[in-house]
Amino acid sequence: MTPERCDGIVLAAGAGTRYGMPKALAENGAWLHSAVRALREGGCDRVFVVLGATGPAQRDQTAHEPAWLISRTPRMPLPAGVHPVWASDWAIGLSASMRAGLAAVASLGTAKDSGSGSAPPEFAAVMPVDTPDVGPEVVARVLAAARGSESRLARAVFGKLPGHPVVLGRGHWAGVLATATGNTGAGTYLRERPDAVRVRCDDLATGIDQDYQSSTR
C-alpha cells in the first residue's frame, strides 16, 4: 500500500537578527539546501520554502529550466524543484511563516496534482532552516511515527527538549493556523495536544537551533 503523501515546509523567512543575516543565506545557502534535502530524502514529496526578510524569490532568467533565486547580490539559487512561498508579513514572527507555508500546501493540495494522478498530501512536515544537523533519518522517523499514530501528529524530541521536524496530519492544519501567533508556530497547538507523539531522535542529531554565528564554528 502506498503511504499517504507528505509535503515539506522549510521556515526560512526570518531576519536572523542574532545571527547577523537571514538564515536562508547562512553558509552561502548550505543550511537551506540541507533542510530541503532532509525533507525530500526523509519522505516528503513537494518542498515549500517560506521566504520573508530576503524578499520574495526571483525568477532566474539565465537558467534553461524554471529556477528561482533567493538573492541576486550575492547570487544565490534556491534548491531545484522547490516551491517558493512569500510571507509578506514575515516581521510578525514565526507564525507568519507557518501560516504562509501551510496555506500554500493546502491550496496546492486540494485536488489531485494536474497530470500526475497523485493524491493530495495528508501530512505536512515542518522544520526551520537553522537546524543543519537534522537529516533525512530524523524526518523519516518522525514521519513514520505520525503515519502510524491515531493522532496523526508527531514531533522530534532531542533529550528532553522538543524540536523539529513537526509532522502534522491534514486534520490539524486548521488548528495550527488558528493558534499560531507572534513568534510561535505550531507550539501553542501542540501544547494543547497530549496525543502528539514525541519521537526521540537524539541518537541521530542534536536538533540545536543555530542562533549565533559563533555557535557554528
CATH number for the domain running over 6-216: 3.90.550.10
CA-closest candidate to residue 141, choices 164, 121, 173:
164
Side-chain half-sphere CA neighbours of 217 within 13 A: 4
DSSP state of 5: P
What is the distance between the alpha carbons of residues 168 and 121, in angstroms, rounded to a whole number?
11
Domain residue extents for the chain = 6-216
Q: What are phi and psi of 161, to 5 degrees?
A: -100, 130
What is the distance between the alpha carbons of residues 120 and 112, in angstroms, rounded to a whole number?
6
68-72 and 47-51 as β-strands: parallel, antiparallel, unpaired? unpaired
List the pLDDT tens digit at each of the 217 positions of the chain. Answer: 788 999 999 999 999 999 999 999 999 999 999 999 999 999 999 999 999 999 999 999 888 888 999 988 788 999 999 999 999 999 999 999 999 999 999 997 665 554 445 789 999 999 999 999 999 999 999 999 999 999 999 999 999 999 999 999 999 999 999 999 999 999 999 999 999 999 999 999 999 999 888 644 3
pTM of the model: 0.93
